Structure 1
Amino acid sequence: MSYQFSIISNENLDQIIPLVYELNDFKISEVILKTRFNEMKNQNYECAVILADNELVGVTGMWFCTRHYIGKSVELDHVFIKPEHRGNGLGKQFMAWINNYVIEKGCNSVELNTYVQNNPSHKFYFNEGFEILGYHFLKKL
């Protein structure tokens, strides 16, 4: 199978909502996801996708910022590849493509969060050279 990696326009973010919905454990409604993605369009956000024969099979959001401890950085968000496309090196190819893309944009680092219970992702990210920097805390208001 042939895969293509690309950045989609923020105007086309509605296309990724079904994949992000499948990823989220909290089952935030697709209506709320659409509202939130509409807000994200104007917040230093870009979206990379994986296409297989014009079908969307993978996605990750990218938040660009400058951090005091590392410089220009990108934080990956909602990284997801459909289960039937996993286990064939696609994730590794996607990460390599993302790394090249963000280096071209001047980034010094890539950061991400992953759910504590998602052990397969931890192994994958360790194998990709990521290190644990700290804990991500969340307080709902």
Structure 2
Amino acid sequence: MPISFKIIEPSQINSIIPLVQKLNNHKVTEAVLKQRFAEMVTQNYECAAIYDGEKLIGIAGMWFCTRHYSGRSVELDHVFIDDGYRKKGLGKQFMKCIYDYVALKGYQTIELNTYVQNYPSHKFYMNEGFEILGYHFLKKL
């Protein structure tokens, strides 16, 4: 499999919508995601991707910011690898590409949230050296 890693151009951001919908069990419509991603690409957001040839098989959104507790930081968002490509070492390779990319941009830390019940992701991120610092809360207005 000819696997490649790259940063998706903002003009191509809607190509990630099918994977984002799989990640979130199609809870958000395509129309809403298009609107949100159009805004996101104007707000220090980028998306890394894994391709098998021309087929998009993995994504990781990246929010670039400066935080008082961690300095120049990247928050990973909607990290997802399609089911048929899991357990093949791609996650580890993908994260290495992301680490290298954000370090070249001058960022010192990476953080992320993961769903409470997603136990395989917890193990993966802990093996990658991430530490649990707290809880992520959300309130819809």
Given the two structures, how large is their TM-score scaled by the length of structure 2?
A: 0.98
Paired residue for 1:90? 90
Report deviation, 1:74: 0.1
Deviation track 1:55-114 (CA, whole Å, cap 9, x = no partner) reads 000001000000011110000000000010000100000000000000001111000000
- Measured in 1, the distance between the counterparts of 2:20 and 2:102 equals 22
Note the residue ranges of structure 2 that are not aligned, 5 or more in a row: none
- Measured in 2, the distance between the counterparts of 1:15 and 1:137 equals 29
Q: Does residue 6 of structure 1 match 2:12?
A: no
Matched to 1:88, the amino acid is K
Q: Equivalent residue of 2:58, what SS? A: strand
Q: Which runs of 4+ in 1 moved over 3 A?
A: none
Aligned ranges 1:37-116 → 2 under 5 Å? 37-116=37-116
Matched to 1:132, the amino acid is I
Report deviation, 1:2: 2.1
Q: Using the aligned pairs only, state the percent identity.
A: 63
- Measured in 2, the distance between the counterparts of 1:2 and 1:95 equals 18
- Measured in 1, the distance between the counterparts of 2:28 and 2:114 equals 17
- Measured in 2, the distance between the counterparts of 1:129 and 1:80 equals 18
- Measured in 1, the distance between the counterparts of 2:70 and 2:25 equals 30
- Measured in 1, the distance between the counterparts of 2:140 and 2:51 equals 35
Matched to 2:129, the amino acid is G
- Measured in 1, the distance between the counterparts of 2:90 and 2:129 equals 16
Root mean square deviation of aligned Cα: 0.8
- Measured in 1, the distance between the counterparts of 2:41 and 2:89 equals 30
Matched to 2:5, the amino acid is F
Matched to 1:68, the amino acid is H
